[in-house]
Amino acid sequence: MKITKTSLKDLLIIEPRIFNDGRGYFFESYNKAKFAQAGIDIDFVQDNQSFSQKGTLRGLHAQKAPFAQTKLVRVIQGRVLDVAIDIRKNSPTYGKYETIELSAENQHQFLVPQGFLHGFATLEDDTIFAYKVNNYYDKESEVGVIWNDPDLAINWGLDDAEILLSPKDEVLPLFKDFDSPF
């Protein structure tokens, strides 16, 4: 397993060791002991999975305490552009974000800690996105920012006309109007 730090503290890219042969491949997507040896000691309590068509954009979301979540995200099938925005008020990188392409081909994972907004856009049809979280979902604790905030200017890798949103994601506030709970 290779762990790469990003420009945002605590936000990590994880590349599992993949064993390929004529039958296909095998890899450990998660091993608590190996993660702990690497300094990542997180008690994941729930696995989630979504299936989406190209252009689906989910985010940008976080949960506030006491239901704040750290997420370990990956793609099982297809390809996404994954985005994490630092919303920790005392962080020197507050309001900055990182993007990474996650795919079934590269098998990379993104560790998104508490204190980050998270979202992704599917770049292929029939994309299966999976993530582990260290806290349970609580609808009342959810916060977010609109995906197309002009101050953030995130390039999602899609034309705006391709974007498919849920009704709740269409009405999220701008970042400048967002009061971070972190």
Q: How confident is the model at residue 59 (pLDDT cuts 50, 70, 90)?
A: very high
In terms of Cα–Cα distance, which of 147, 46, 47 is closest to 97? 147
Q: How confident is the model at residue 101 (pLDDT cuts 50, 70, 90)?
A: very high
Instruction: Give me the active site residues, please.
Output: 61, 131
Other CB atoms within 10 Å distance of the CB of residue 77:
14
What span, in angstroms and rounded, lies between the C-alpha atoms of 71 and 16? 16
Q: Whole-number mean pLDDT of the chain?
A: 97
pLDDT number for residue 164: 97
Q: How confident is the model at residue 50 (pLDDT cuts 50, 70, 90)?
A: very high
What span, in angstroms and rounded, lies between the C-alpha atoms of 98 and 104? 20
Domain boundaries, the chain: 2-177
- Which CATH homologous superfamily contains domain 2-177? Jelly Rolls (2.60.120.10)
pLDDT, tens only, 4-27:
999 999 999 999 999 999 999 999
